[in-house]
Amino acid sequence: MPIIDSRVHITVKIWHENLVNIYDSTIGEGTKIASFVEIGGSVIGKNCKIEAHVFIPPGTVIGDYVFIGPNCTICNDKYPNAMASVWERSPVTIKDRARIGADSVILPGVTVGENATVGAGSVVAENVPDGAIVYGEKAKPREIRCLNKPML
């Protein structure tokens, strides 16, 4: 996997350069990036730590000293449609010193505030205020099926 058309500070540590996909991005000094990370069209601040299997899409802006745990996904398309000819990006901003727990999903257009913490496994659909601690997205019934009929 390549590193293409990106400005990566000389002090950035990428654990396995052949196991990341980085394009059209800027990555600040002292940042650490684990294997199997994709960063496209984004700006990453200094001294961040991005764990394995993280997806950071175009338009994302990440501040300084941000931690992103393994398997996190950041989304930038509110209405994904493979057939659409026009794509409207809704970028995500993660401010300085924020912490994003493992397996979290940050939905399009969200801002995670400075010094905020997102607990592991969270789905973040709304802006997170500075200094807030947020977590969870409890599964709940969305549809009730008749118990007398078999489900196909």
Number of domains into which the chain is organized:
1
pLDDT of the residue at 140: 58
Q: Is the pLDDT of residue 144 over 70?
A: no
**Could you tell me which residues come within 8 angstroms of residue 10 by beta carbon, excluding any fewer than 6 positions away?**
29
Q: Say if residues 44 and 31 touch (Cβ distance below 8 Å).
A: yes
Q: Does 148 reside within a domain?
A: no
Q: Does 123 reside within a domain?
A: yes
- Distance of alpha carbon 107 from alpha carbon 9, whole angstroms: 28
Query: Pick from 47, 58, 67, 61: which is nearest to 120 by CA?
Result: 67
Query: What's the pTM value of the predicted model, to 2 decimals?
Result: 0.88
Q: Say if residues 109 and 91 touch (Cβ distance below 8 Å).
A: yes
* Residue 88 belongs to domain spanning: 3-134
Q: Is the pLDDT of residue 71 over 90?
A: yes
Residues annotated as catalytic (active site), given as ranges: 53
Q: Does 59 reside within a domain?
A: yes
- Distance of alpha carbon 87 from alpha carbon 14, whole angstroms: 31
Q: Does 35 reside within a domain?
A: yes
Q: Does 139 reside within a domain?
A: no
pLDDT of the residue at 78: 86
Q: What's the CATH number where 78 sits? A: 2.160.10.10
Q: Does 142 reside within a domain?
A: no
Q: Does 81 reside within a domain?
A: yes
Q: Does 143 reside within a domain?
A: no
